[in-house]
Structure 1
Amino acid sequence: MRKKVVAGNWKCNTTIQEGVELAKAVNELVAKEGAKDVVVVLGTPFTHITSVVNAVDTSRIGVSSQNCAAEAKGAFTGEVSAAMVKSTGAEYVILGHSERREYYGETSEILNKKVALALENGLTPIYCCGEALDIREAGTQNDFVKTQLEETVFNLSTEDFSKIIIAYEPIWAIGTGVTASSEQAQEMLAFIRGLIADKFGAAVAEETSILYGGSCSPKNANELFANPDIDGGLIGGASLKAEDFLAIINAY
């Protein structure tokens, strides 16, 4: 049975001190009230990772980087390698987020390097894909997402692909307060699972966790997670409030 996953993406928010307090609050709530069958992940800024790892019960809560470098090491000022991320105690890395693609020019070529390095260093990639509003309005979202996957993670071996988590993020619903309807979300995630089955086989497709990421909140998480192909969420703003994040964890 594939895993249910709720991963928070704090983005560029919180100081270290604020992040540690948030992590401690989430840790306490999850320990007392969190659904036992849900994998919980906190995606923190680089500066916070070690402190958050030390603040939570890592047997219950995983910690994720929001990115890693496309190079293993060397003269790349300001970059943080996958090996560095792994050394902090993090277990996951978010890759391919629409904000990285749009604001920092991350291409499929760059993302292939990042995914390979993440896997080499024992990190679990949470790999993002998804379309902008103009693509959705043109009705070409399926082709667009298919191309995103074919150019990147579909180049992996079956063994390596089996180690990743996919997150579908409709860009038009990120931080906008607009959420894809549960029908739209289910339709796309079922499509992605079908692509995985075609490429890697039905068994791999059935074991791959596919998350929805796009203004998921305590108000709509139950409806979204009730769909058969939605295995959880990549949560932005709501992950910055411990009580809201818990409500999403318990929304299955």
Structure 2
Amino acid sequence: MKKSFIVANWKSNKTVKEAEEWVVQLSAISYQLSANLEIILCPPFTLLHPLKLLITNYQLPIKLGAQNISPFPDGAYTGEISARMLKELGVEYVIIGHSERRKYFGESEQILENKVKEALDVNIIPIFCVQGKTTPVPERVKIIAYEPVFAIGTGNPDTPEDGNKIALSFKERLSQDTVVLYGGSVTPENVRSFCLQENISGVLVGEASLDPKKFSEIVQNASKI
């Protein structure tokens, strides 16, 4: 049985109090979790330390991820959060190249390559986002998330079958060992259809991950595969 990933991207949402309420509500929900399913929560930087404590205190089977990382090491880079800083906070994964970062912050392929290098240098695993079959992927990336721009936050996901074809094209281009996730309007209702596809190994969840009930349903439905 293949290993699958559920990655929650909170984007620019939630205060510390709201994050605590999310954890409390999620911990109160009873659900079965597959041993082959890894849950990764990627909150804003301000919530990384509080959530690390909450996840530990409530003994939740959740790994911590970041939504961004500096393309530079420690130093005179005002406003940046370096890989070493994230590692100290218990971050194990980081999203790199999300379509919103490319669109609103103009992140170039060179910047993204630098971010991947910085992450790998401290053993943080990049989850590299791609928008189509021709998106460049830096060397040493093992996990990619296919997120068609038309599906991000629109409620109009790609079809599982088309997602599977795109995933296969990346495996053929990069390596059969490449883990491919699908991202874009993932819901409790469609998550199982995506995870059942041969070449898709999980999902990147945006809006639906903000609601603990919806997120638990996504995890539950993905665990039924």
TM-score where L is the length of structure 2: 0.91
Alignment match, 2:9: 9
How far 1:27 moved relative to its partner?
4.5
1:38 is matched by which residue type in structure 2? L
Contact 2:27 2:60 in 1 (8 A): no
Q: In 2, Cα distance between the equivalents of 1:56 and 1:18?
A: 14
Between the two proteins, the alignment pairs up a number of residues equal to 220
Q: In 1, Cα distance between the equivalents of 2:34 and 2:45?
A: 27
Of 191, 195, 219, the residue aligned with 2:169 is: 191
Q: In 2, Cα distance between the equivalents of 1:192 and 1:238?
A: 26
Counterparts of 1:1-252 in structure 2, within 5 Å, are 2-29=2-29, 32-57=31-56, 60-131=61-132, 142=133, 144-145=134-135, 148-149=136-137, 153=138, 156=139, 160-161=140-141, 164-197=142-175, 205=176, 207-251=177-221, 252=225
| CA 1:24–1:122: 2 relative to 1, 3 Å | farther
Contact 2:7 2:40 in 1 (8 A): yes
Q: In 1, Cα distance between the equivalents of 2:178 and 2:21?
A: 32
Q: In 2, Cα distance between the equivalents of 1:247 and 1:14?
A: 20
Higher helix share: 1
Q: SS of 1:33's equivalent?
A: coil
Q: In 2, Cα distance between the equivalents of 1:59 and 1:120?
A: 28
Q: In 1, Cα distance between the equivalents of 2:165 and 2:201?
A: 13
Q: In 2, Cα distance between the equivalents of 1:92 and 1:17?
A: 24
Contact 1:215 1:236 in 2 (8 A): yes
Contact 1:65 1:94 in 2 (8 A): yes
Q: SS of 1:56's equivalent?
A: helix
Q: In 1, Cα distance between the equivalents of 2:10 and 2:55?
A: 16
How far 1:102 moved relative to its partner?
0.7
Post-superposition CA distance 1:24-55 (Å, at most 9, x none): 4334547x533332100000000000111111
Q: In 2, Cα distance between the equivalents of 1:29 and 1:3?
A: 23
Contact 1:2 1:208 in 2 (8 A): no
Q: SS of 2:11's equivalent?
A: coil
| CA 1:25–1:59: 2 relative to 1, 3 Å | closer
How far 1:183 moved relative to its partner?
1.4
Contact 1:27 1:56 in 2 (8 A): no
| CA 1:27–1:211: 2 relative to 1, 3 Å | farther
TM-score where L is the length of structure 1: 0.82
Q: SS of 2:8's equivalent?
A: strand
Post-superposition CA distance 1:146-177 (Å, at most 9, x none): xx22xxx2xx2xxx44xx31111001100011
